[in-house]
Structure 1
């Protein structure tokens, strides 16, 4: 599979995750969100940017429990819960947000 961004073809696996993490861009994230009928807000970007930083540091995408806990630590208790994260990413906060962030599918996600 592939996604077209600004005249460049970007390869993805069958679930829509990037095959080359270096090809990620904010425009790509916006395009993926549009395909899911979502408009990325500042709150979405907090999670996406957090995931990218986390991956850079640990070389792994966090599972949902870790994501929820870390978001709560960084952005406050009202954002560190799965209800809030599911409102932002209805197809599963860890899976959908990682896809938008250009990261591999989180471990433990089916």
Structure 2
């Protein structure tokens, strides 16, 4: 199973998560989002980029509770609310946004 972008084949697991996160790029994130049925907006990218920074610092993809807590500190309570995040990522903010960000599936997500 793989995504194809610019003639390159990038492997992913059965759920669509990259098998090698180093292969991620913003255009690839857009391809993954399209497959997820999402049209990316600056608000989507804000969350995706936050997740990538979080992962770079802590080497873990945050579950939703940790994500909302960290986002509150960075962007304020409104942008960290479950409603806001589920409006952006209806299949689960942590799960779906991490997939688009090229990160592993968050711990505790089924």
- With structure 1 as the length reference, what TM-score do the two structures score? 0.97
More moved, 6-15 vs 72-81: 72-81
Whether 1:43 and 2:62 are equivalent positions in the alignment is no
Aligned residue in 2 for 1:91: 91
* SS of equivalent to 1:79: helix
In the TM superposition, residue 12 of structure 1 has moved relative to its aligned partner by 0.1
Aligned residue in 1 for 2:17: 17
* SS of equivalent to 1:78: helix
Provide the rounded CA distance (Å) in 2 between the counterparts of 1:71 and 1:19.
26
Structure 2 regions of 5+ residues with no counterpart?
A: none
Written as runs of structure 1 = structure 2, the 5 A alignment for 1:44-83 is 44-83=44-83
How many residues are matched? Answer: 110
RMSD: 0.7
* SS of equivalent to 2:61: coil
In the TM superposition, residue 60 of structure 1 has moved relative to its aligned partner by 0.4
- With structure 2 as the length reference, what TM-score do the two structures score? 0.97
Structure 1 regions of 5+ residues with no counterpart?
A: none
Deviations 1:58-92 (A, max 9, x none): 10000100101111111111111111000000010
